[in-house]
Chain A
Amino acid sequence: MRRLPPAALIGLVFTGLYFFGAIFAGLIAPYGMAEVVGDRWEPWSAAHPLGTDSIGRDLLSRMIWGGQTTIFVATAATLLSFTLGSVLGFVAAVRGGFVDQLLSRFVDLIMSIPSLIFALAVLSVTPVTVPVLILVMGLLDSTRVFRLARAVAVDVTVMDFVEAAKLRGERTGWIIFREILPNALSPLIAEMGLRFIFMVLFISTLSFLGLGVQPPLADWGGIVKENREGIVWGVPAALVPAFAIATLAISVNLVADWILNRTSSLKGGRGG
């Protein structure tokens, strides 16, 4: 194995830490999610390392519980967008022709509307619950995964070794899973990191706008919304999630960069 570069190590440690916190929130969090334990916006103290929030709940506990929601929603949406996008992308690349045209044009259409706007339009008529959020985010974002998966698969499909496998008489299954997939995997995994970051930002934004996770359930975007008035009084409670989101995003980014650098260079982005 090659030695791990320090940036990747930092990324892995922080990513691991956040996921650990999310999974074991119930064991780690000092207080309950909606438990009122003090006055509003108490400053940092030994009892409340991050102070209390707008109605006197322990902010650290809120952050840990909120991290659980945010990471869970983002992970679920990423998995959905990834499975759907990459399966359809591969199918489009390998089958080509009519199937490819149909799928690609439909994706062009969905992507001609900014995804936040599209999500808002859909959420204006559907009930705003966690499953609906995961579904809407995952479906909208699968268009991006589709484009990448298709592009990567098309690049691999034109390689001579794929032709050699076809000439040998191999079945489509072998060609997709043994010849194409191993060569398409690392850009896709790196992209998965970027999609995950995008999902964290997306759900936080929706919650902040009041159209995401609904109170009393905590999530990072919602914590900002709950504590936003504090800002003008000089209470930095709303900035705590900023730190959490930024460090999570940066560490996942570092891991994704590392995976990508080990192979080819492909562009990824946060997109619209």
Chain B
Amino acid sequence: MHPVLILVARRVALGVLLLWAASVLLFAGTMILPGDVAQSILGQSATPVALANLRAELGLNDPPLTRYLNWLGGVLQGDLGTALTNGQDIAEALGRRLGNTLFLAATAAVIAVPLAIGLGLLAARYRDRWPDKVISTFTLATVSIPEFLLGYIAIFFLSVNFRIFPSLAAVHEGMSLGERLYAVSLPALVLVLVVLGHMMRMTRAAILNVMESAYVETAELKGLRPFAVVARHAFPNAVAPVVNVVMLNLAYLVVGVVVVEVVFVYPGMGQYLVDHVSKRDVPVVQACGLIFAAVYIGLNLVADIVSIVSNPRLRHPK
């Protein structure tokens, strides 16, 4: 078998292993730590009998391993359990919200990725000149402000003072794509700002790293046009690091979504998660945590696979 395939297969296996370990960790983190779910649900005034009944009903008296295996078995069959607070089926409730979240994240990514790569190239091209300095100052500013504050700044200026965009990102069934996009314009903008800085800075570093290499100098000394130097020599070697940068930042975007959804009261998974953390609805928290972890691990996996596949030393072994 080709060594690249072996490496990729190994990396995928590692990803699956990580996801499994993450599920153990999430389960352990929410189940074994002090604090009693039954007590939390019923409050301090609950009678001992009611508490005991609820504990039995939730399976809290089973040993942790049994509870974990039951839970994992259910997850593998697509059954995420039922919410403690309202008895809803979690998988069903999550389905639509997951769609909304992915829609928001995708909108932000579609804007942020080309913009960040473009600006990163610009900064690398005009290194240490004013475009680079403007971009790096902007980067410093955006990574220093938490996303919820970016959100309120955007609402304050763009929707309250100038009334350009809606302040609440309300979406519902039956909206057209255009209406949906308009509804998520502000949260998407905030998410773009959140990831743009990092993505730009890392793209710039990746490009500069390649542009400073000896083989780019060789290409320049061949008298090639700047475009040919970049397209034929720099670009093929810069793809992997840049894809890596993009994936890592998309993974970050997934986390940023949680907060932004709360700010804009957007009916996505992040808001659902935060709501149920306050209500101490453990099954919902576990399900959401697992999905977030899966997306995060998956994006990191893609980044690593791209690095493996694009490495000429691995693709063409001696």
Q: Do chains A and B touch in the complex (CB under 8 A)?
A: yes
**Most chain A C-beta atoms within 10 Å of own C-beta, residue among B144, B146, B288:** B146
A-B contact count (CB 8 A): 159
Within B7-31, the residues touching A (CB, 8 Å) are: 18-19, 21-22, 25-26, 29-31
- Inside 8 A of B34's CB, which chain A residues have their CB? 125-126
A204 to B141, CA, bound (A): 17
Looking at the complex, which one of B146, B148, B277 makes contact with A120 (CB distance below 8 Å)? B277
**Are the CB atoms of B156 and A125 closer together than 8 Å?**
no
- Inside 8 A of A272's CB, which chain B residues have their CB? 251-252, 254-255, 296
**Are the CB atoms of B33 and A112 closer together than 8 Å?**
no
Q: How many B residues touch the partner, as a band?
A: 35 or more
**Are the CB atoms of A125 and B35 closer together than 8 Å?**
yes
CB distance from B231 to the nearest CB of A (A): 27
| CB contact under 8 A between A231 and B22, given known A114-B292, A122-B29, A125-B30 | no
Q: 1/0 per residue B129-165: CB within 8 Å of A?
A: 0000000000011011111110011011000110000
**Are the CB atoms of A124 and B21 closer together than 8 Å?**
no
**Are the CB atoms of A269 and B292 closer together than 8 Å?**
no
Chain B residue with the shortest CB-CB distance to A201: B146
A108 to B288, CA, bound (A): 21
| CB contact under 8 A between A236 and B156, given known A112-B293, A272-B252 | yes
Q: 1/0 per residue A118-139: CB within 8 Å of B?
A: 1011111111000000000000
**Are the CB atoms of B278 and A210 closer together than 8 Å?**
yes
A100 to B72, CA, bound (A): 30
**Are the CB atoms of B278 and A239 closer together than 8 Å?**
no
A residues with CB within 8 A of B: 108-110, 112-114, 116-118, 120-127, 197, 201, 204-205, 208-211, 221, 224, 228, 231-234, 236, 238-239, 241-242, 245-246, 249-250, 253, 267, 269-272
B residues with CB within 8 A of A: 18-19, 21-22, 25-26, 29-31, 33-35, 37, 40, 140-141, 143-149, 152-153, 155-156, 160-161, 167, 198, 205, 251-252, 254-255, 258-259, 262, 273-274, 276-278, 280-282, 285-286, 288-289, 292-293, 296-297, 300
